Amino acid sequence: MQVTDRKKVIVAISIIIVVIVSLVWFLMLKLPIVDLANRTNYYLAVMMNLNQTDTMNGMRALFDGSYNYTELLSWEHEKLVFTSGNIERHTDPLEILEYGKGRCQEFAILCVSLCLVHGYQSRLVVDMYGDHCWTEIWLEDRWVHVDPSEMKVDDPYMYERDWNKDLRLVYAFSDGSMEDVTTHYRDGSSIDR
């Protein structure tokens, strides 16, 4: 290899290294540091608990009849008060009800549990780099966005449009599985990227 060829190779490798380092640096500034593996395992475990027979039976015992999903949202808001203050965090729906207050995570977990015991296929949805949880319910052959803490139904772009959230990674958790649903919640017109 000639000297000029070696210089070209060295320059090319140097450029690649600079690009990689710059990209890593840019991503570290743009995305919060989140342990995705632990966060994913946490929500998978929550969903596994919601699908356990004991949990389902405990939740079913609270009802004499069957409710539709909008009635369940109203019922939930009668039993659970939203708070932004310091609270005990719970992931078991019966403990959430007993405590009587929660944030979006508690509302979402309780909503999924209520839907499951009333025959609705439902899953927990999490902004993995953010701080919000909501649910999806299978209705009319599609997953429908339901934000139980906000009592909003089928308004998936509300986070970008109304909250100015930059949703980078959104997962939907079912019993033992997860799905990247980021594109369901990004319309691309609300935030400059």
Instruction: Yes or no: say if 93 and 17 are a contact pair by the CB < 8 Å rule.
Output: no
Name which of 129, 126, 154, 152 is nearest 140 in CA terms: 154
Q: Does residue 41 contact residue 169 with C-beta atoms inside 8 Å?
A: no
Question: Residue 85 and residue 53: Cα distance in Å, rounded?
Answer: 32
Catalytic residue IDs: 104, 132, 147
Q: What share of the chain is helix, strand, coil (3-state, %, to 5)?
A: 45, 20, 35
- Determine the Cα–Cα distance for residues 134 and 111; give it in Å rounded to an integer: 9
Give the 3-state secondary structure of residue 69.
helix
Residue 165 in tokens: 């959230």
